[in-house]
Amino acid sequence: MTESTTTPQATHPTGAPMGNRQTERLSLLQEQIWIAEQLAPGRSVYGIPMVIRLRGVLDTELAARCVSEIVRRHEVLRSRVGEENGELYLVTDPPRPFTLPVFDFRSRPDDWREFVETAAREPFDLVHGPLLRAAALRLEDDAYALFLNLHHIVADGWSLRLFWTEFAALYTAWHAGDEPDLPDLTLQYRDFAAEQRRLTEDGGYDDALDAWARELAGATTTLALPVDHSSRAARGYRGDEFTTVVPERLRADAYACAKRLGVTPFAMLGGIWGVLLARYTRQDDLLIGTPLAGRTRPEYQSLIGLFANTMPLRLRLDADVPFASLVRELQLSTFDALASQDAPFTELVKRVDAQRTSHETPLFQTAYSFEQSTEFEATLPGCAVTELYELSNGGARLRLGLGAVDALGELSLQFEYDRELFDPGTIEAMAESYLALLGEAASHPELPLGALRTTTDAEPDRKLTGRPVPEIEPATLHTLFERRARQSPDAPAIEREDGTQISYAQLNSQANRLARHLRQLGLRTGERVALALPHGSSWPSAVLAVLKAGGAYVPVAPDAPDNRKTHVLAETEPRLVLTVADLAKDFAGPHQVLALDDPAVASSIEAQTDEDLEDTAVTTRQVAYVPFTSGSTGVPKGTLVTHANLTAFTRAAVDTFELGPADRMLQLAAMTFDVHVEEFFPTWLAGGCVVFFDGVLGRTGPEQLLHLLGEREITICELPTAYWIEVVRLIDPAVVPLPHTLRRLLVGGERAPIEVYQRWLDFGIPLTNVYGLTETAVTSTTYEPGADFDREALPIGRPMPHAAVYVLDTWLAPVGRGVPGEIYLAGPGVSDGFLNRPEQTAERFVADPFAAEPGTRMYRTGDQGRWTTEGDLEFLGRVDRQLKLRGHRVELAEIESVLDGHPDVASSLVVPRRTEAEPAAELELIAFLTGAYADEAAVAAYVRTQLPPHLVPAHISIVERFPLTAHGKVDQAALLALHSREHVVLPEEALAGELEARVAEVYCAVLKVPTIDLRTDIFALGFHSLAALRLVSRLKSVFTVQVPIAEFFADSSVTNAARLIVAAGADQPVG
C-alpha cells in the first residue's frame, strides 16, 4: 500500500440513495443519538476515537484487508441514516474494499499527535457516511499507530474491543497463511433493532420498566453542579477531556479494598465518583448514568453495534453512612440494573415522566463507566501493543462524565466535560480531589461519607486562606482618630449635607466635650450607649464621644418598628440613649434619655473642656460597638465587636483600598448597617473626608446618585450589590454624565452576576467586590476583576491582611480546591460573640484548629463557597437558602442562575412563600425579575425548558426595581407585598397571528392534541425528541422551508417555530 506523506483533507464518500439498498428502522438508541447530533451541527459529539500504538513492523495492506473483512461481516459498519416522512432508517450499503490511508511521520515525529487529535474532532456525516474511519501512522521504522474512529450510532465500547479482537485474529491468521477461525454471524444489528421495536410495541419491557420506575421514585433528576461559566439557553456541546493515571500503589490499595468489601472495582470507583459529586452539588440523592452492555442474548455478544444502554444508577449519599455500606449498596443496585438492562432508556424516560429539555439528558447529567479489558493487550505477529487511549472528540454529551479504564497494567481516569461550563483547571482540581477521596476510602472504608477528605493536605493552603498580620501597635478606634487629628488638625474630617466642612481638630473637640458630659452623667467604662439619631452628620461626633468615654455604642434606627426598638433596648440595657427632642418620648425607659438638641443639654456639653480624655482607661479588648442583625429565628441579635476587631479591619482597609488624604468617601450606609464603620474609620485613619448628603440611598435614584457623586467630588464609595445592579440596568453611560473623580466603587452584600459586570465596564470605573459579616468586623475579602473576567459571577476574592478564610467540610477539614464547603472567617476581626446568646455563640464561634495560638476562634458564616483554580474565593449562596419543596431539596440560587440566563432578564430573586397563612401550608416559589424587555410568559416558557418541574417557580412577577431595606439589601417582604396572585391571562386567540394559527394546526395534527399553548415548549408538555423531529419534517413539508433543528430544539414552541419559518423565507403554507 502506498504511503501518504501529507496530512489528509476530510472526505466523506457519498453513499448511494436508498434505492434498492437494504433499509431498516433505527433502534430507539440510534434515534436518540441521531437527534442529539442535529443539535450540534458541525461537531463530533458522538465519535469514539482511539489510538493503538504498536512496536514492530505493521503490514498495512494486510491491516486494510482485515478492516475490509470486519466491515463485510458487520453490516452496521457500512450503514448510514436516511429520513423519510419523519421516520429514520438505517441504510446498509453493499460491502467494498476498505481503503486504509497510511501517513508517514518519521520525518516529523512531533506532529502525529496533533494529527490524530484533529482527526478525532472531524464531524461525521450520518446521511452519507462512512461511519467508520481508520488510518495507519508510521512513527518510526519499527513503530506504528492505528487510528480508529467509529460513530456511536454504529458502535459502543464493547464493539471497540470486539473490533480489535477480530482484527488481531484476522491479521494473525492471514499473516501465517491460515484461514481465520471467526464465528459465523447468524444475526445482524438490524435484527436487534427490529426485536427492540417489537418488544416495545408489545409491552415486552413493561416489567423491567416498572422495576426501574420503582427504583427512581422521588429521585432528584437535576444535578446542581457549580460551573465556572454561565449556562446558555442552547448548549454548544463543546467538550474536552482530562486524563490522569492513578498511582500504582493507590490502584493496588483500591482493588484490595474492593476485594475485602466483596465488591467490584466498578462499585469501588463509582462510589468515589458519587461521593465527589455529592460534595460538589451538596445533594445526597444522585442519579448517575452508566452504560450497560444491553447484550442479553448470546448472539448479540459477537455483534458490533450500539447495544449499550446508558441507565441511571441511584446513589443515596447520607453523610453518616460508611463508605463500605455505600459501595455494597451500589453493587446491589448495579446487579438489579443488569437484570433490567435491556429496557430502552427512551421508554424509561416516558415511564417515569422525567422532565425533558432540548439540551440536557433527562434523569441524569453526569455519567460513569469502568472498563477492565485485556482484549487490547493482544499482540500481532511482529508487533506489540505499547499504548492505547481514547481521544477527545471535541464534544460533550453531558456536562461532566468520568470513564475509568484499566488496560495495559494501569488505571486511567478520563474526565469528559463541557468546556463552555468548566475551566480545565477546575477539572484538574476535581481529579485531585477524586484521588484524595479514593486514598481515604481505600485506607478507611469504615469512615462515614462526610468524613472522607477531598484533599491530602491536613492544613489549609495559606496561599489561599491568608495569614493575618499581627497588630504591631494595638490601639483603640478613638486613639487612632486622635492621632490623625494631631497630624492633620485642619484637614476636613467630615463634610455636612450643606457642604460645610468640619476639620479633624473640630470634630475631635466636639467628641471630647460630649464624652466628658457622658462621664459626668455616670457612664462607666464598658457600659453601652444607644444612639437613636436621625441619619446624618450628627453621628460621627456621637460615635467618637461614646468610644472616648469608654462606652460601646448601639445604633438604633429611629424609624424602626416599635417592637424592634424595644427589643434592642431590652437586650443591651444601655446607661444612656442619645437622640433628639422630637424622638425622646419614643425611647423612654429605665435608662436616661439625652436629647442632644435640647438647649440646656447643648449648653452643658459646650461648657466641657475639649481635651482628650487621658484618664479614661479603655483596652483594645473592650467592646466598642453592638450592631444588631436579623437572626435565623426572626429575633434580632446583637454582636459584641471590640476595638481590636475594628482597628485591625480599619488598618487593613486603608491598605486594601489604597486610601489617602485626598479621598472623599460618600456616606451612604444606614448607621444600623455595619458598612458605616467602613465609611468612617478607614477614611479617617488615612486622613480623608467622609461626605454626607441630604437623603438616604433607598430613596435616591441611580441618575441622582451619579450626579451627587460628581457634584461632591467623591473618590470612593460602597453600594449594595442590588443597588449597583439597578445603576447598571437603568443608566446609559453614553448619555448620563459619569463622576470623573470616582476612582473606585465598592459593591457587596449579594452575588454579583457577570452580565452586570460586563455592562459596568462601559462605565470605565474600577470595581471591587467585597465580602464580610458583622460578626467579623465588616469586610474580610475583596476582589478586583479585570476587563477579561468571564466567570459566572464575581468571586469575593482573597483575604484582607487582617483576615483568614477557610473553606471546610462538616468535619472542619479543608476541602479540595474547587470543592464547595462552608466559609469560615478567622483572624483579629472575629468578634466576641453574640450578646446574651451563649448557645448561639458556641454554635457559630468555634475553636480555630489551624491557629497558632490556643483559644483562637473562627466564625462559621453559614455561607457556601469554594476556591477557584485562580486562588479566589467564590460565593455560592447561603446554606439556609436550601429548602425542601414537595420532598425535593431546592437551592434557590440554582433557579436564579437559570433565570439570569434569559437574555431579557437583568436580575432575579426567588422568594419562597406559604400558599396559606398557616405555618403548615405548602411552600411555593415566586420569581421576581427586572428587565426592560422581560416578558413573564416568555421567561416562564424558557424556565420550563431549563428546570425540572419541582424547581419551576409557581409565579413569575416582573418589577421595575427591587425594593431595598434601609441597609440597602433587597426587601423580600416588600416584594411579596407587591405580588398579586391574580394574573390576567389573555386568550390565546388574541395572541395568535395567522401564521401561528397555521403552525398550531400542524402541531395539533402531529402531536394528536386538540389544542396547544403557543408559547410552551413541547418538551415541557411531556413530548419527546422524536415527536419534535416529526414536527420539523411536517413543517418542512407544509411551509416548504428547512427549519433549523438545533434552533427548534432550543425552543420548540409554536411562537418560535413561526419565527424560524419566517426567518427561513416563508410565512404562509403552500396551497
pLDDT value of position 377: 67
Average pLDDT over residues 183-209: 93
- At 354, the pLDDT band (50, 70, 90 cuts) reads low
**CB-side neighbour CA atoms (13 Å) of 406:** 13
Q: What single DSSP character describes residue 776?
A: G
More reliable by pLDDT, 979 or 462: 462
CA distance 141 to 146: 15
Grid cell, residue 44, equals: 463530533
Residue 17 in any domain: the answer is no
Residue 828 in any domain: the answer is yes
- Residues 1014-1047: tens digit of each pLDDT: 877 776 666 666 677 778 888 888 888 888 877 7
Are 968 and 697 contacting, i.e. CB atoms less than 8 angstroms apart? Answer: yes
- Residues 770-796: tens digit of each pLDDT: 999 999 999 999 999 998 888 888 999
Q: Environment class of residue 992 by beta-carbon count within 10 Å: exposed (0-12), middle (13-18) or buried (19+)?
A: middle
List the one residue out of 879, 868, 1017 whose CA is nearest residue 429. Answer: 868
pLDDT at residue 958 tops 60: yes
Contacts of residue 738, defined as CB under 8 A and 6 or more positions apart, other chains included, come to 706, 710, 763, 764, 765
Number of compact structural domains in the chain: 5
Q: Of the spans 810-819, 913-922, 929-938, which averages the highest pLDDT?
A: 810-819
Q: 190, 225, 256: which is the final residue of a domain?
A: 190
CATH of the domain at 140: 3.30.559.10
Which residue(s) pair with 495 in the sheet? Answer: 501, 691
Rg of the chain taking only CA atoms, in angstroms: 34
pLDDT value of position 983: 36
pLDDT at residue 500 tops 90: yes
pLDDT value of position 980: 43
CA distance 446 to 436: 16
723 lies in the same domain as 651: yes
- Read off the amino acid at residue 613: L
> Minimum mean pLDDT among 38-52, 321-335, 663-677, 700-714: which range?
38-52
> Minimum mean pLDDT among 693-697, 927-931, 1061-1065: which range?
1061-1065
815 lies in the same domain as 892: no
Grid cell, residue 666, equals: 460618600
Q: What are phi and psi of 465, to 5 degrees?
A: -75, -25
Average pLDDT over residues 62-90: 93
Q: Environment class of residue 1065 by beta-carbon count within 10 Å: exposed (0-12), middle (13-18) or buried (19+)?
A: exposed
| Mean of per-residue pLDDT scores for the chain | 88
pLDDT at residue 231 tops 70: no
439 lies in the same domain as 306: yes
More reliable by pLDDT, 895 or 627: 627
- At 15, the pLDDT band (50, 70, 90 cuts) reads very low
Contacts of residue 205, defined as CB under 8 A and 6 or more positions apart, other chains included, come to 199, 342, 343, 344, 347
717 lies in the same domain as 649: yes
Q: What are phi and psi of 620, to 5 degrees?
A: -70, -20
pLDDT value of position 794: 92
CA distance 727 to 733: 10
pLDDT at residue 50 tops 80: yes
pLDDT value of position 1028: 76
Residue 873 in any domain: the answer is no
Average pLDDT over residues 258-271: 97
792 lies in the same domain as 684: yes
pLDDT value of position 933: 83
CATH of the domain at 671: 3.40.50.12780
Q: 978, 1002, 1029: which is the final residue of a domain?
A: 978
Q: How many CB atoms lie within 10 A of CB 983?
A: 10
pLDDT at residue 539 tops 70: yes
Average pLDDT over residues 316-341: 94
148 lies in the same domain as 82: yes
More reliable by pLDDT, 20 or 428: 428
- Residues 688-747: tens digit of each pLDDT: 999 999 988 878 889 999 999 999 999 999 998 888 988 998 899 999 999 999 999 999
Residue 7 in any domain: the answer is no
pLDDT value of position 374: 67
Q: 420, 439, 462: which is the final residue of a domain?
A: 462
pLDDT at residue 24 tops 80: yes
CATH of the domain at 1049: 1.10.1200.10
Average pLDDT over residues 426-443: 97
The helix (H) or strand (E) run that includes residue 246 is none
Contacts of residue 528, defined as CB under 8 A and 6 or more positions apart, other chains included, come to 551, 552, 553, 554, 572, 573, 574, 575, 623, 626
Cα separations in angstroms, 503 against 52, 510, 688:
80, 11, 10
107 lies in the same domain as 253: no
> Minimum mean pLDDT among 334-343, 486-495, 648-657: which range?
334-343
The helix (H) or strand (E) run that includes residue 107 is none
> Minimum mean pLDDT among 62-66, 204-208, 404-408, 494-498: which range?
404-408
639 lies in the same domain as 753: yes
- Read off the amino acid at residue 579: T
666 lies in the same domain as 750: yes
Are 313 and 290 contacting, i.e. CB atoms less than 8 angstroms apart? Answer: yes
List the one residue out of 897, 900, 860, 866 whose CA is nearest residue 880. Answer: 860
List the one residue out of 278, 480, 966, 1022 whose CA is nearest residue 675. Answer: 966
Q: What single DSSP character describes residue 780?
A: -
Residue 386 in any domain: the answer is no
CA distance 294 to 271: 22
Are 185 and 76 contacting, i.e. CB atoms less than 8 angstroms apart? Answer: no
CA distance 180 to 182: 6
Residue 1016 in any domain: the answer is yes
pLDDT at residue 1010 tops 50: yes
509 lies in the same domain as 599: yes
- At 990, the pLDDT band (50, 70, 90 cuts) reads very low
- Beta strands 576-579 and 552-555 are unpaired
Average pLDDT over residues 6-17: 35
pLDDT at residue 10 tops 70: no
Grid cell, residue 66, equals: 482485515
CA distance 720 to 796: 14
- At 868, the pLDDT band (50, 70, 90 cuts) reads very high
CA 237 to chain centre: 17
pLDDT at residue 976 tops 50: yes
List the one residue out of 750, 747, 749, 760 whose CA is nearest residue 786. Answer: 760
pLDDT value of position 56: 94
Q: Report the percentage of the chain scoring pLDDT > 70.
A: 90
> Minimum mean pLDDT among 32-46, 123-137, 291-305: which range?
32-46
> Minimum mean pLDDT among 692-706, 875-889, 1052-1066: which range?
875-889
- At 859, the pLDDT band (50, 70, 90 cuts) reads very high
Grid cell, residue 402, equals: 468520568
Average pLDDT over residues 531-549: 96
The number of residues in the chain equals 1071
Residue 383 in any domain: the answer is no
Residue 876 in any domain: the answer is no
CATH of the domain at 445: 3.30.559.30
pLDDT at residue 172 tops 90: yes
Helices (H), 176-236: 189-202, 206-216
712 lies in the same domain as 840: yes
Are 460 and 827 contacting, i.e. CB atoms less than 8 angstroms apart? Answer: no
- At 470, the pLDDT band (50, 70, 90 cuts) reads confident
636 lies in the same domain as 780: yes
Query: Domain limits at 952?
Result: 886-978
